[in-house]
Amino acid sequence: MDNELKLASNLAPFSRLSDRFVTSGYCEGYDFNKQLEMLAAIEGISGVGLGWPSQCRDGATLKKILENHGLKLATLDADIYTEARFKNGSFSNRNPKIRCAALERAKETIDAAIEAGSPDINLWLGHDGFDYLFQGHYVDAWNWILEGLQELAEYNPNMPISIEPKCREPRANEYVANTGKLLMLVNRINKPHVGITLDFGHSLAALENPAECAVFAMREGRLQQVHLNDNYRDWDHDLIPGSVSVWEQVEFFYWLHRLGYDGWFCIDIYPYRDDGAEVLERAVQACHKSWQVANRLIEMNIEQLLRDGQHLKIKRILWDMVKV
Amino acid sequence: MDNELKLASNLAPFSRLSDRFVTSGYCEGYDFNKQLEMLAAIEGISGVGLGWPSQCRDGATLKKILENHGLKLATLDADIYTEARFKNGSFSNRNPKIRCAALERAKETIDAAIEAGSPDINLWLGHDGFDYLFQGHYVDAWNWILEGLQELAEYNPNMPISIEPKCREPRANEYVANTGKLLMLVNRINKPHVGITLDFGHSLAALENPAECAVFAMREGRLQQVHLNDNYRDWDHDLIPGSVSVWEQVEFFYWLHRLGYDGWFCIDIYPYRDDGAEVLERAVQACHKSWQVANRLIEMNIEQLLRDGQHLKIKRILWDMVKV
Amino acid sequence: MDNELKLASNLAPFSRLSDRFVTSGYCEGYDFNKQLEMLAAIEGISGVGLGWPSQCRDGATLKKILENHGLKLATLDADIYTEARFKNGSFSNRNPKIRCAALERAKETIDAAIEAGSPDINLWLGHDGFDYLFQGHYVDAWNWILEGLQELAEYNPNMPISIEPKCREPRANEYVANTGKLLMLVNRINKPHVGITLDFGHSLAALENPAECAVFAMREGRLQQVHLNDNYRDWDHDLIPGSVSVWEQVEFFYWLHRLGYDGWFCIDIYPYRDDGAEVLERAVQACHKSWQVANRLIEMNIEQLLRDGQHLKIKRILWDMVKV
Amino acid sequence: MDNELKLASNLAPFSRLSDRFVTSGYCEGYDFNKQLEMLAAIEGISGVGLGWPSQCRDGATLKKILENHGLKLATLDADIYTEARFKNGSFSNRNPKIRCAALERAKETIDAAIEAGSPDINLWLGHDGFDYLFQGHYVDAWNWILEGLQELAEYNPNMPISIEPKCREPRANEYVANTGKLLMLVNRINKPHVGITLDFGHSLAALENPAECAVFAMREGRLQQVHLNDNYRDWDHDLIPGSVSVWEQVEFFYWLHRLGYDGWFCIDIYPYRDDGAEVLERAVQACHKSWQVANRLIEMNIEQLLRDGQHLKIKRILWDMVKV
């Protein structure tokens, strides 16, 4: 079993972030090269998760740039959610031209991912959902999502497609809302290279237990990618990993490690108000500590305690590791 | 398309209800025969949902009693959750004897359901879940649930099995938590007579939209049974249908009717503090009104508005039906 | 008792709205004059809620422009939340210069409100809160908020100050989070011209019942202003009033009317994806219908039913008003 | 500053617990004397929180029995919520006889508390609220609650009254729902011996931050009593302290200690499925560890970091205390 935690991050900590109130940005942010340089300087992070299209004209260029920075590409995310044309949905859009555009964007991302050497593409259908009752035509929507994903899955079986669920934001309700619903969908597509992204914070906000979801997804052979962040189980606040959920993160790492997950852990946070580098250092610390605790639990062979339902004995072990 | 709303109810409105605070009961309740008599007296309700074992020694006796009361049996619910022996789970219990007992209970319920002429049995795994992190052994639990259900599905293909998901209560987290997760599971069992129960309130409390879930389940050919009640999207309060969620219930009925659902709508409420008969009269009124609104929307052929995403025009129609 | 519903709206329906994903805007939006013209064209809306500073150089100019459009000023909102300098808080900011800037902005808004003939200013401390545990120094924060508001309250007793609570967004946790907490604070300030804004959707998202809050605030003599919008009790989605919560809105209007609230009802929605004018027409319809139902309940003198706890009889009356 | 954590517990871990499903009890439970004996045997717990009436005929007898067991009385809780007669409310009940009965029960509890040497009585208005819209007459309800509490406050100024808020359960909505609302109420009563109980889990479930609430209540001079338990911010699951919320509990203890809270910390859990003694041992461990961490933060003088908003540096310190 691999003992290393492969940590990556997106570039949000070094970007100009805005929201619906501070539309002109919480800070200035940096240019692409500076962002990569700053990320590469963070000890403990070796990969980067990027969106496509990026500021590079092709995947080969991107690959070179990342190599220059000593960073690995952890995933390439098909951007079907930052442009206004996708505001009423991508794969489920009522307009066939927009559905087509979403599919094209995803295919381009696959091409670029191949060139850039990405292990997969990430696909989040952020605007596919509904804000109002009687707004979604659920039959059409699910048909289009399924058709689009099936066509995408045919495009290039060599590049894994990892679909990321989320229950809300930017829509009040998103179609691909949670792990169970997505696994049902992915099983229906039924291609070995189509899997899921388990975003720790999305999972919490969908009232799930992320560790249970990891097990569930791995039993189905569908866990492709992991995102790390945190929240108060109410919303995708994209806070620093381990800043709220401590035992949840340890349990998550325990099961991922136990069941042999060997992919990236991509930090996916939105630090509107804090220094990006310092935030990532804290994220790295919290992740490494949680990982070490999880490893220690494996070494201690708590498997039998788990089998016997002796959660109180595991609680004792966990709190014993808090040392003043 | 059938234009009739087949309403049933459980007997909770005429029972001694208790909770963790008022353990000796909010009221006295009535004996079984009186309960049936009181339910039969409610205009607009023609069926009853019952648990098994009941106060009848066999299904044939039950059938006769219900006929005497002029009530149809809407479902027979396998009781694997009111006895302390099931407190750590039924189908996922670590103790093979308890797993076996749960399976036996479900099989007995199938036998009784056949004798009693029930359209299906209902199966809710209420104690199968976890209150604490590191309490559930998720691999074992899901294996046992799947194995048990597969064995149950072999028992008698003539009696539909309808599994009911719920995200929490009595456990802080239940395994069979929501519609998507359950559909994935049911698809894996892959038997035509194994479907799901869509409980309107469970769906709201799991952050779902019940109408979308109905469509989703019917696309998979898995919608077997519907439960009606209401809440504030926070917990399974089992309130009177339509007392909180108005447009949600109309949308739910719209899609069920449109896609040809022809099963029972079983009112599943817990009126701790109100008169059972009056509560059911209000439930019947709210359900019939919602059903009529849904039918009217179908007659008006709003399908095209839905197709076009004209939810604002549908809103106008809905509010036009509120007449002072 | 005044029988008229005084409806106003902000200009968001005619503005370029953006969020953290679609940062360049969901649509183009219109210039200030066009926005006012479009709003004035909506039948049933007679007032506008505006932010300060606005595109007018002073309140007198603003007054004239609004008069030209036939619109009344419903409130003037002190903008202490759209600029990055306020990102770590306004009145509770650790930096005394920023606290001072927030106070100055609020005072300027009071001045402009006087000139423009506004009935009050609105004050929302959106960035005053914390995303992380151990981030807020709660003693300092509350001291500064109290001190700042006390100083502001001294500035001009002729202009009512209406403080608006919200539990989260843009911070994961806001200090002035809910009605109870704010009323405690306002009672401590103890000035007759300092009251609260009851935002229907903020109230739902804070797990409150808006009608109960209205009663609670009016008992304390502190209800100054009302905002209308809707959501799924999970987040401030700023949806169209009555699109989700039907009986809640009727109950809210019932109590406001019964207790003699005679201020504005300011529609405060964010229609990212819909036509602004059509959205407002639906909002007006839903509000007027709810208002008429509330009035009818008053005419029918349901007071005695309420006194007797006969909520089931009121339910019957409500559903009787839904006529297919 | 007192460096000791005064831990108490209620007797639920040794009682027959039931809920609405397992009405006959999750286990047998023990008699009163055995319960006290078992509690006294738990190292680290020196007090007990009891309800009144208890199995002792008067407070003096109770005092003697507790002394025999070497236990201190941490609080005496007025039972106005386990009898069916209170199901529609205690202090806000529409029936003046029931309001009177609630008041009598509270006065008897005060008498017994004096005799038994309790530091305070606890008062939770569990059934005072509403399940349905248009069910509560909010004006009457708040008037009666205020009147009743005012009369109670006159009864015996020597015995502190500690009122405990909760947002829901057993009612879908409770009147005395959260810390802010209660503080407003208590300030209106305005007696030095009337304060509040801060239940950690109730606070989480009401979307509050317990540490902030503690500061808020202590600023008002109103924090009388603290209850410890845990949940997933969704419901009052009454789980073992520290089983979900780690940093929250540390932060809570930090501020309580810093501001000089010297009362009891009463563990208030409902371990339906686990061994009561083992559960309490884990609770004691988690509380002591959290307390030590909080003390260590005080020794390290993180006050300046808090003042400066350096939450990232505090995060580093916290994670450094997790040692594998």
What pLDDT, in 10s, does the model give residues B200-230?
Answer: 999 999 999 999 999 999 999 999 999 999 9
Question: Residue D280: which of D225, D229, D205 has the closest Cα?
Answer: D229
Q: What is the token pair recorded at C157? A: 């007793």
The count of other CB atoms within 10 Å of the CB of residue C249 is: 26
- D2 in a domain, yes or no? no
Nearest to B16 by CA among B4, B1, B32, B2: B32
Q: Distance (Å, rounded) from C-alpha D262 to C-alpha D1?
A: 9
Q: Which residues of D touch C220 (CB under 8 A)?
A: 184
- Report if residue A2 sits inside a domain: no
Q: What distance in Å separates the CA atoms of residue B85 and residue D25, rounded to the nearest whole number?
A: 10
| D97-100, long-range: CB < 8 A, 24+ apart | D99/D144, D99/D148
Mean pLDDT value of segment A185-189: 98
Contact check, Cβ <8 Å, A319/D293? no
Kindly tell me if the per-residue pLDDT of A287 is higher than 60: yes
Residue tagged 């010297």 (tokens): D262
Q: Which of C154, C141, C149 is nearest to C185 (CA)?
A: C149
* pLDDT exceeds 60 at position A2: no
Q: Are D44 and D265 in contact (CB under 8 A)?
A: no
Picking from A234, A131, A237, A229, the residue whose alpha carbon sits closest to that of residue A174 is A131
Q: Are C116 and C62 in contact (CB under 8 A)?
A: yes
Q: C151 near C105, Cβ under 8 Å?
A: no
A117-171 pLDDT tens trace = 999 999 999 999 999 999 999 999 999 999 999 999 999 999 999 999 999 999 9
- Which of C232, C234, C289 is nearest residue B322 as measured by Cβ atoms? C289
Query: Which tokens belong to A197?
Result: 């992204």
Phi first, then psi: give them for residue A208, nearest 5 degrees: -95, 165
Q: Distance between CA B160 and CA B153 in Å, rounded? A: 9
Q: Which two tokens stand for residue C311?
A: 């909520």
* Chains with 3 or more CB pairs under 8 A to chain C: A, B, D
In A, what residues contact C, Cβ < 8 A? 17-27, 81-84, 87-88, 126, 131-133, 168-170, 172-173, 231-232, 234-235, 237, 239-240, 243-244, 270, 272-273
Q: In this predicted structure, what is the pLDDT of residue A55?
A: 86
| Interface test mutation site (partner B, options D15, D22, D94, D133, max chain B beta carbons within 10 A) | D22
D136-192 pLDDT per residue, tens: 999 999 999 999 999 999 999 999 999 999 999 999 999 999 999 999 999 999 999
Structure tokens at C25: 């805007």
Length of chain D: 324
Question: Per the domain annotation, does A1 fall within a domain?
Answer: no
Cis geometry, peptide bond prior to residue A119 (ω within 30 degrees of 0): no
Distance separating alpha carbons of residues D281 and D283, to the nearest angstrom = 5
Q: Is B177 exposed, middle or buried (0-12, 13-18, 19+ CB in 10 A)?
A: buried
The C-alpha atoms of residue A107 and residue A103 are separated, in whole angstroms, by 6
> Model confidence over C136-186: pLDDT tens digits?
999 999 999 999 999 999 999 999 999 999 999 999 999 999 999 999 999
The rounded distance, in Å, linking the Cα atoms of A322 and A86 is 47
Contact D166, D127 (CB under 8 A): no
Q: What pLDDT does residue D2 have?
A: 47
Contacts of C292 in chain B (CB under 8 A): 324
The answer to whether the beta carbons of residues A136 and A169 sit under 8 Å apart is no
What average pLDDT score do residues A217-224 get?
97
Task: Read off the CATH number of the domain in which A71 is found.
Answer: 3.20.20.150
> Which of B246, B269, B296 is the best mutation test for C, with the most CBs of C within 10 A?
B246
Give pLDDT tens digits for D17-53. 999 999 999 999 999 999 999 999 999 999 999 999 9
Token pair for C89: 């808080």
Confidence of residue C2 (pLDDT cuts 50, 70, 90): very low
Q: Any idea which residue has 């979403």 for tokens?
A: A102
| Res. B4: pLDDT tops 90 | no
Query: Is residue C58 within 8 Å of residue C113, measured between CB atoms?
Result: no
Stretch A8-12: mean pLDDT, rounded? 98
Q: What mean pLDDT comes out for the span D124-136?
A: 98
CA atoms of D43 and D277, how far apart (whole Å): 10
Q: Which residues contact C1 (CB under 8 A, 6 or more apart)?
A: C257, C260
β-strand partners of B72? B47
The token pair at C26 is 């969901």
Nearest-angstrom CA–CA distance, A8 and A229: 12
Residue-level pLDDT at A166: 98
* Mean pLDDT, chain B, integer: 97
Domain for residue C316, yes or no? no
Each residue's pLDDT tens digit, A23-63? 999 999 999 999 999 999 999 999 999 999 998 999 999 99
Size of interface B-D (CB pairs under 8 A): 94
Side-chain-facing half-sphere of A48: CA atoms under 13 Å: 28
Quote the CA–CA distance of B17 and B33 in Å, as a whole number.
17
Tens-place pLDDT, residues D40-94: 999 999 999 999 999 899 999 999 999 999 999 999 999 999 999 999 999 999 9
Q: Give the relative orientation of helices C138-155 and C179-189 as an angle to the nearest 10 degrees.
A: 60
Complex prediction ipTM: 0.97
* DSSP conformation letters of C250-274: HHHHHHHHHTT--S-EEE----SSS
- Whether C80 has a pLDDT exceeding 70, the answer reads yes
Mean pLDDT value across chain D: 97
Closest to A10 (Cα-Cα) out of A42, B287, A18:
A42
| Residue among D27, D82, D243 minimizing CB distance to B84 | D27
Beta pairing partners, B163: B123, B196
Name the 3-class secondary structure at D68.
helix
Task: Classify residue B1: in a domain, yes or no.
Answer: no
Q: What is the mean pLDDT of chain A?
A: 97
Tell me the C-alpha distance between C194 and C161, whole Å: 5
Structural domains of chain B, count: 1
Amino acid at A191: K
Is C234's CB within 8 Å of B232's CB?
A: no
Q: What angle do CA A51, A57, A60 make, to 5 degrees?
A: 85
- Whole domain around residue C164: which residue ranges? 7-294
Residue D3 has pLDDT above 90, yes or no: no
Helix/strand/coil for D10: coil
- Predicted confidence (pLDDT) at residue C3 exceeds the cutoff of 70: no
According to the model, what pLDDT value does residue B3 have? 64
The pLDDT assigned to C4 comes to: 86
Q: D18, D24, D88, D131: best mutation site toward chain B, by most B Cβ within 10 Å?
A: D131
CB C130 within 8 A of CB C172: yes
Cα dist. D60→B36, D52, D175 in Å? 51, 13, 34
* Angle of helix C96-116 versus helix C59-69 axis, rounded to 10: 50
Instruction: Give the whole-angstrom CA distance, residue B136 versus residue D132.
Output: 36
**3 state DSSP class of D37:** helix
Partners of chain B (3+ Cβ pairs below 8 A)? A, C, D
Buried-state track B58-79, b at ≥16 Cβ within 10 A, e below 16:
ebeebbebbeebebbbbbbbbb
To 10 degrees, what angle do helices D59-69 and D32-40 make?
40
Domain-embedded: residue A199 = yes
pLDDT mean across residues, chain C:
97
N-to-C CA span, chain C: 32
Rounded CA-CA distance B224/B191 in Å is 13
> What pLDDT is stored for residue C55 in this prediction?
86
Half-sphere exposure of A36 (CA within 13 A, CB side): 21
Query: Which of D24, D92, D132 is most worth mutating to test chain B (most B CB atoms within 10 A of its CB)?
Result: D132
Hey, what amino acid is at C288?
H
Q: Report, as an integer, the average pLDDT of B67-87.
A: 98
- Cβ separation C133–A243 shorter than 8 A: yes
Contacts of A234 (CB under 8 A, 6+ apart): A205, C168, C234, C235, D207, D233
Q: How far apart are CA A320 and CA D285, in angstroms?
A: 9
Looking at residue D55, what is its pLDDT? 86
**Does A129 reside within a domain?**
yes
Token pair of C320, please? 């009787």
C2 belongs to a structural domain: no
Please name which of B263, B260, B265 lies closest in space to residue B290, comparing C-alpha atoms: B265
Nearest CB neighbour to C136, from listed D88, D178, D212: D212
Beta-carbon separation of D216 and C179 below 8 A: no
User: Crossing angle of helices A210-219/B138-155, nearest 10°?
Assistant: 60
What's the one-letter identity of residue C5?
L
Give the torsion sign (CA, A86, A89, A91, A95).
negative
Instruction: List the beta bridge partners of residue C123.
Output: C163
Count the helix, strand and coil residues of chain B and give each as a percent rounded to the nearest 5.
45, 15, 40
Query: Measured between CB atoms, which of A240, A289, A319 is closest to D289?
Result: A319
Q: Is the pLDDT of residue B84 over 60?
A: yes
pLDDT digits (tens, 9 = 90+) for C35-79: 999 999 999 999 999 999 998 999 999 999 999 999 999 999 999
Taking CB atoms and an 8 Å cutoff, what residues of chain A touch C88?
Answer: 273
Contact A9, A267 (CB under 8 A): yes
Distance, CA of A117 to CA of A121 (rounded, Å): 11
CB contact (8 A) between residue A247 and residue D247: no
Q: Rounded to an integer, what distance in angstroms lies between the CA atom of residue B135 and that of residue A296?
A: 18
